[in-house]
Structure 1
């Protein structure tokens, strides 16, 4: 990534690096003042990393970057099979998020929340690992690192098979405040398919940290109020509350994304809490207690759960293939200019953009434009694309008509499809969008990428049932081969 944008401003990447180097020591010092004896001396840092195998945590962060890149490469191409559920969510919620944005919108607030949404979110993920490492909390360092890796993995089938478009592309008049600033616009346009709404990882990941903290201290028989890290826990909590507001205000997420984010974060936290002691060999070798019979029991019970969840994915695709052409992908009000992403192509791949105007009265204007050129046409003061600056190259799609654009085959570029409804229109105009990516069929790969999530969900359900049957607390993370009253094994 270049150090500067096309306009010469420092890129979000370098701002993030600056935050890491500047804020990390401040956060670690500030929240460990009441337990300075826990701090790992600087001269012991590398020895600590080696002795406690923290180099594996670095590998975990690298793994999630690769996992995310692969998932993002699948998201758009498989939408011709997986469709979206935006109309379902809109039918359930209506336009409450529009009220949130209208009620609180102002420029300063938008700038603060934009910064918080991107930079503080990423910073919290990173600094939480460093904080617990710095304060000698081996188990929590393990857990919060796994939290980022596994919660993203848990979200994969939701993102790939239950797409929901961002609120600003479906609620007429709602502004995409997160994407309208040219400085942020290029970054998000090249990293966000604009339909990874359900669940919200801005809720799932920090909630996972909160849940892991709670499970950790409760199993030790103390409360959060008694815990030496309670102030850092509160710091995460209040940032999570702010994330919940920001995702609604900025024109990204729906209200339902918050409880679903909590659900995914909770599943991830339970899985990590119960698996980490075995991974750390605190109760013997990693596979101690495994027997043919117990392994078979896991395979059958968790396999049944996986098959049930897998059939849900297949059923969703069957439903979408029958109905997706009848439902709107985007809705516009007078003067709206909405965007859709056409992702960067790989060699031998083409993208074909097709738009159907579902209205019977008003035409819509459509333009395919390189992402960088689109950001140059954004208004730095008021936000959003200035339609008049790019309108000359637009195509008008008449009511009830379909326009299929020429295939895009240029590599190394991201494109935006900008859809505009004139100010003279009245009411809401719906359009259906289809972007076909040529090349290999990626549905099978997407299903395989979803299996870890399905299995983790099945494992958590099975684990909680076995704990209950053995009369043990659901927060007991002891591997089952160490249970006194049972011959259970993991």
Structure 2
């Protein structure tokens, strides 16, 4: 029996995984962490604005697919990528192929990837580490702002759909993947790999965290997710390389902007104190 029977099953696994991550990272009840999020929503206008922008940006893939259909842009760069890379992806897939690894890889690709993003937001909110929360918001915005033009004007199809020796292994664990998950991402939304770039951004930001578990776990999970994009037959090596560069740059940009906002905020708080002292 396949572990993922539908997107509903996947959603349940995501929620459970988020709870496990938060308990492991904080040794606290996830409900206490949820309470801190609700408190921020009702007490901080700036937090709400950033969170709303974050939610909006996550739907941009869907918007991009609608725009792409209306554009009727006929270019396809898949053959060029294949000509450069050849059999790199099938070599990875054939060497490591194993049923258990397929299930684990599918779990990381479908469940752990979003769970790390959501748990990061919850963790940094709970710890009142606003710099890292804002950094995630800006990094995700940057990732999508750079990736979407490529999806529109540099379409590259997923490896399994083009390479004769590559199979979409995720179907062994998630038989309805094409029906349930495909509406979230187009078949030609390959370059750069957002699974790679966002995972790398989460890892770079997590290293700045005060939480020992999180700063170790997130980079490890990021590395494994990068492995899954090849093993499952989804992305090309070029997608991954571009994704790593984008992820690092997005995280650094996000951190720099977040640090700048905090400095300005601190100056605004200190100014009245200095005036009173005078």
Q: TM-score scaled by structure 1?
A: 0.48
Inter-CA distance 278–191: structure 2 relative to 1 (3 Å threshold): same
Aligned position for 1:237: 219
Pairwise CA distance, 1:183:
2.6
- Report how many residues are paired: 260
Moved over 4 A (4+): 40-45
Q: Is the 8 A contact 1:31 1:229 kept in 2?
A: yes
Aligned position for 1:91: 83
Aligned position for 2:163: 171
Aligned position for 1:30: 24
Decide which structure has the larger Cα Rg and report it.
Answer: 1
Q: Does 1:263 pair with 2:251?
A: no
Inter-CA distance 129–79: structure 2 relative to 1 (3 Å threshold): same
For 1:21 and 1:172, the matched residues in 2 are separated by 36
Inter-CA distance 102–228: structure 2 relative to 1 (3 Å threshold): same
Inter-CA distance 251–282: structure 2 relative to 1 (3 Å threshold): same
Q: Does 1:11 pair with 2:6?
A: yes
- List alignment gaps of at least 5 residues for structure 2: 269-278
Secondary structure of the 1:256 match is helix
Q: Does 1:150 pair with 2:142?
A: yes
CA deviation profile, 1:13-39 (whole Å, cap 9, x unmatched): x33442354333332231134xx8xxx
Alignment of 1:49-448 (within 5 A): 49-53=41-45, 54-78=47-71, 80-81=73-74, 83-179=75-171, 181-214=174-207, 217=208, 228-280=210-262, 281-282=264-265, 284=267
CA deviation profile, 1:347-386 (whole Å, cap 9, x unmatched): xxxxxxxxxxxxxxxxxxxxxxxxxxxxxxxxxxxxxxxx
CA deviation profile, 1:403-459 (whole Å, cap 9, x unmatched): xxxxxxxxxxxxxxxxxxxxxxxxxxxxxxxxxxxxxxxxxxxxxxxxxxxxxxxxx
Inter-CA distance 192–17: structure 2 relative to 1 (3 Å threshold): closer
For 1:125 and 1:110, the matched residues in 2 are separated by 22
For 1:256 and 1:88, the matched residues in 2 are separated by 11
Secondary structure of the 2:184 match is coil
Q: Is the 8 A contact 1:19 1:123 kept in 2?
A: no
Alignment of 1:450-461 (within 5 A): none
- List alignment gaps of at least 5 residues for structure 1: 1-8, 218-226, 286-490
Q: Is the 8 A contact 2:37 2:125 kept in 1?
A: no
CA deviation profile, 1:161-220 (whole Å, cap 9, x unmatched): 111111112221211223565332311343332111111111101211222345xx4xxx
Pairwise CA distance, 1:76:
4.1
Hey, which of these two has a bigger chunk of strand by percent?
1
CA RMSD of aligned residues (A): 2.7
For 1:74 and 1:189, the matched residues in 2 are separated by 16
Pairwise CA distance, 1:79:
5.1
